[in-house]
Structure 1
Amino acid sequence: LTAELMESFRRVFVDSMSESFYPVPQEAIGVGSAFEGWSPREWDGVYCVLVPLNAPPGHAFHLELDSTGQMAARTFRVHVEPVCTCQREQQGQELLCFLHHSQKELRRKHQRSLLKTLCIGSYLDVEKTSHWFYQLLRSSWLHVPQSHSWHLAFQPCSRSCQLQLSKGKESLRVEMLFGVHQGDSDIFVVSQPSEAQKCGSSIFVSSQPTKANIMASTAWPEMYAVAEVKFFQHMARQVPCESLHLKCLQVFTCILTGTGFPISIWKTVLMHLLTTVPLSQWHRREFARRLWDMLTYLSHCLQLKCLKHFVLGSERLPAEIRVPLAVRKVEPPNLFEHLARDPAAHREAMQIY
């Protein structure tokens, strides 16, 4: 139902926005555990989808890495640049050029550049984009086939759009993020950081918000969830028992809930093991050994105070996962860096382990 709903919305968007200068929504991509083939015990039942946004006619998006160092995760700004459309106008398309037509003519045609609507300066603003997307969803709902049988409640927030659909005793919750491609890859910059990014992938540290965790409205965090979904789908086709590795992940996230090790840590451990333990050894009869491998790997990383990010700087990703060269070349961040800096946090982690 989630995929059908997103496709219905996309079709309505195409029809209603054909002559606008707002970002162009593309086909939604499911991300998170529900689309990786498993779900943690504490899963909140929210299906998360990413809606890629393309630049509208007369505009181009350019990603600029934010080097201010305010966030633990890599963040970008989406620079919006007007581009000349005079040639398209000469080819018979009724498209005014924001660079070469006068402001008077643009106003007469009721044409407003994206720079005047959803940007702060020349940078795409997350909160303005979220509000625009929320309004777009509301106005599109009655034109979607699902509106005849489902009731939809909107729960807007500053960096995403949350929907709750209900029909009798059935209900479905969807969180829609929006983002911009990094080139033609499976890496995006998105409207909202993941839970791991919100706390800098840290464990055993204060959860109180700090100045470093407050994101500017023009900050778009880098997201690897699409690459991770494709990685797990790829591995399901390679291992002898297509779901054994996911069962390992589910066991640890269920048994060790509340111990201080977030799901992102166990996922990272599993992804590393899937590229080091021979795929032929992921049989059902090897289930206990693979669980032990995960514990041993985590213990080793804790002792070294080092767990490398799996996607950033990885040389082990399957070829079908498209990653920009800059992402491949970057030094993989250490997800346990805070343990190396804080002896007390490291002792606590070792005690809990």
Structure 2
Amino acid sequence: MTVYTLNLRVFWPLVTFLLTGLLLLLHRSLHRGPDSSPADCPDKALGPLLLALFALGFILRYFFKYCFSRRRRNKRVFRELPEVTCRVAPCRKEQLESYYERHVRLSPHVLGHGKAHVTKLVSELVRAGRTEKPPEASFAFRGDFVQIGSCYEEHKVSRPDCFDILVPLHLPRGLKVALVTLSCREGGMLPLCSLETPRASAWLREHRAFAGSFLRLSGTGGAYRLSPGAVLHWFYLAIQRCLAAVRQPFEWHCSLGLSLCNSRVMLRLTPLSDYVCCHICMGVRLIPAVPLADGSYLVGSVCGPQQGELWTPYFPRQEQRLLGWLRSRLPARSCHLKCLQMIKALRDLGGQALDSHGGGEWREVLSSYALKTAWLRLLLTVPPEAWRDHCFLDRLEDLLQNLKESLRQRELRHMFLGGDTELLPSFLTLPKMFRDSAPSNLLKPCCFCDNEAAYAARLGLAGGRLVRKPHFLSGGRENVQIFSRDQPRLEQGRDISISRTGHFS
């Protein structure tokens, strides 16, 4: 049965405000001038009555305050010993839950508002750059966009301040390009692709300006390759023109900025009023993409010696369908998103303890996509009933253990290009050119040092076991220790102290 408890912090100021108002009303009625008519004069007998009520209210206030203070002191005496006993051995799951709620979990209200504002702005941009039919000698926006990344997959951590948007492009009308897959060796990196067109093409002879701006000769010299760098530069200028056309309605609420840095087109939204909850400055990464079959895309590659001519495949539609299918199989109160968010939060905390070079390796190896791939593989191998909320700690340790094994073996296969067709549901289809490609590995062999165990220990995931000592965020500090049972402690792990602000020391 629910028992109502009087909130004295609200009740007594309210009573004081009402009685003060009555006293001021009494004071005004007693000091009226002699020219006021008898009809306007209040009854003189109300004056002493109101004054008595005011005095009675103050007496009752101090009486109840005295009674409640005695009752609170008595409860504190009886509960002092159980509270001390509970603090001696707190539950690890409760500590993780507390840290998750305080520092990891995003507010659905703030995240929803951020996504709505980004969607509205990007919709206006692509609508301004859309054409009815593809131009003859230039690119054009297709008119739609694809929302990708952790904010839209509901596993973003810390702040909803970065969004990723794929913007599909129309190729020039009449341009015929062939997709050539540069197959990697067994267990290598992601396959890189090139979009090639023959040199002896009639279309190229008619559009030499386009060929000089967007095409580069291949290594053999027998074909032209579409350059992602030139496409990105055109895309940046096109977004700049579209932003100038739609800027005015948005500038009442936020300032907009566009930049091209490190092969990224970033759109910045800085609120000037209550345009976004909590006045969060948001960044939108706009990615030009060439559409392929079955909802897959090609985006410019940022790796390899020939990065100006190669493209990387993206499969956003397949990922979204896989996540939706997994979500339908899991229980109503599952911990799958919480596990991925906690792993990413631990990754971010660990990177703060390293220097710039070590932090770069940390982020490169334990990228968000690599963590999500390991998480998806665990979702497909563990029964759905094992993802209930009370199994959160077990699944988190399983994910840490899988990451440890991947780092030791230097292998984490791509979810769709890893050669594990029996692991995926049958309704997921890939373009024909990627179905028989060699298995790709997300972990770069060149990023590992000579001693795999030492490198895994440096990443803080060597033992796969998370041990926490009290008390997490209760005014003090907590020691987080990650160690291996089968390796020397000094070689495989270290004690890390996390302060209230989340920094290592």
TM-score after normalising by structure 2: 0.54
Shift of the 68–33 alpha-carbon distance from structure 1 to 2, 3 Å rule, reads closer
Distance 1:320 1:28, change over 3 A: farther
SS in 2 for 1:60: coil
Offset, 1:293: 2.0
The structural deviation recorded for 1:44 is 8.2
Structure-2 change in CA distance of 1:336 and 1:152 (3 Å): closer
Alignment deviations for residues 44-80 of structure 1 (CA, whole Å, 9 cap, x no partner): 82211111223221113322123698x9432111224
Residue identity matched to 1:77: S
* Structure 1 letter corresponding to 2:375: L
Q: Kindly provide the amino acid, as one letter, of the partner of residue 64 in structure 1.
A: V
Secondary structure, aligned partner of 2:440: coil
**Amino acid in the other structure paired with 2:284:** V
C-alpha distance in 2, partners of 1:280/1:268? 21
Counterpart AA for 2:318: A
1:115 aligns with 2:211: yes
Contact 1:62 1:81 in 2 (8 A): no
Report the TM-score when normalising by structure 1. Answer: 0.74
1:273-284 equivalent positions in 2, closer than 5 A: 273-284=378-389
Gaps of 5+ in 2: 1-116, 218-223, 274-278, 352-361, 463-505
Q: Report if the CA contact (8 A) 2:257-2:267 is conserved.
A: yes
Find the aligned partners of 1:284 and 1:17 in 2 and give their Cα distance: 51
Write out per-residue CA displacement over residues 287-325 of structure 1, whole angstroms, 9 at most, x where no aligned residue.
Answer: 222212212333444454443222213313344543124
Higher helix share: 2
Matched, 1:63 2:172: no
Matches within 5 A, 1:326-345: 326-336=433-443, 338=445, 343-345=450-452
RMSD between superposed Cα atoms in Å: 3.4
Partner of 1:189: 298
- In structure 1, the residue corresponding to 2:289 is in which secondary structure? strand
Aligned to 1:209: none
Partner SS for 1:59:
coil
Identity %: 21
The residue aligned with 2:75 is none
The answer to whether structure 1 residue 292 and structure 2 residue 402 are counterparts is no
Superposed displacement of residue 214, structure 1: 4.2
**What is the CA distance between 1:81 and its match in structure 2?**
6.4
Aligned counterparts, 1:7-46, within 5 A: 7-15=123-131, 19-26=135-142, 27-41=144-158, 45-46=161-162
Q: In 1, distance between residues paired with 2:228 and 2:131?
A: 24
CA displacement 1:206-253 (0-9 Å, x = unmatched)? xxxxxxx44431121233455334432332233113662111001111
CA positional deviation for 1:341: 7.9
Give yes or no for contact 1:186–1:322 (8 Å, CA) kept in 2: no
Which AA in structure 1 matches 2:376?
M
The residue type paired with residue 29 of structure 1 is V
SS in 2 for 1:218: coil
* Structure 2: distance between partners of 1:142 and 1:336: 41
Q: Report the Cα offset of residue 7 of structure 1.
A: 2.1
Aligned ranges for residues 88-127 of structure 1 at < 5 Å? 98=203, 103=206, 114-121=210-217, 122-127=224-229
Q: Does 1:253 align with 2:344?
A: yes
Whichever of the two has the greater Rg, that structure is 2
Residue 66 to residue 291, structure 1, CA distance change in 2 (3 Å): same
**1:178: which partner in 2?**
288
Which stretches in structure 1 are left out of the alignment for 5+ residues? 85-96, 104-110, 199-212
Q: 1:167 to 1:18 in 2, by over 3 A?
A: farther
- Structure-2 separation of matches of 1:332 and 1:294: 22
Residue 217 in structure 1 maps to residue 302 in structure 2: no
